[in-house]
Amino acid sequence: MGLMWADVLVKVSSLAAEVLKHIQETSNDSAVIDSSLSDVREEGKRRVKDDFYLKVKDRLKSFIMSFTGKYQLETSEGFEQFMKAVGLPDEMIEKGKDIKSVSEIEQNGNVFKVTITTGPKVIINTFTIGQETEIETLTGQKVKTVVKQEGNKLIVVLDKVTSVTELVDANTLKNTMTLGSLVYKRTSKRVA
């Protein structure tokens, strides 16, 4: 924050110096100079506020984007080991390892509906940020939990698994699930 205010002060000082130089070159009347300097100060303050507001607004937009969209899995790592550790049968792991799942997210403020389609299997979870809810896991188990949001990240603990889903940019969704030292990473790209 300190650097931003320093930049603002430099801009205001620079603007004031330019206007003062112009006024001194074009007028010898001290009342005109004093009045003009006052106008410059007010204009400088307004510009600084507008500039600061726009920067803050853009910064907030970049931090908090809407998750709404349809995302298809592009890459994953650690799938087989992780699925074995959570108790998925070998047959399902074998079938699922090459399927490009699709995650559809509908966000309305703090209310989310997440539909994950992996081949014929469909999991639908609806939750409100910060409120206890029941979430269906990859194994079909239902767990009571609270989903939290930190900027562009949705964080939830499902039994012993911690899941962090991050909207990296407008088109990229990264999900990292950890169970002890095992990590399963997924990267999905927006398709709609």
pLDDT at 1: 46
Residue 14 C-alpha from the chain's centroid: 36
Domain 69-190: CATH superfamily, name plus number: Calycin beta-barrel core domain (2.40.128.20)
pLDDT tens-digit series, residues 26-59: 555 556 556 665 666 676 666 666 777 666 655 5
d(CA 126, CA 142): 12
Whole-Å CA distances, 147 to 117, 128, 131, 157, 183: 20, 7, 7, 8, 19
Instruction: Calculate the average pLDDT of the chain.
Output: 82
112-121 tens-digit pLDDT: 999 999 888 8
pLDDT exceeds cutoff 60 at 156: yes
pLDDT given at position 178: 97
pTM of this prediction?
A: 0.66
The Cα 160–Cα 117 span in angstroms is 23
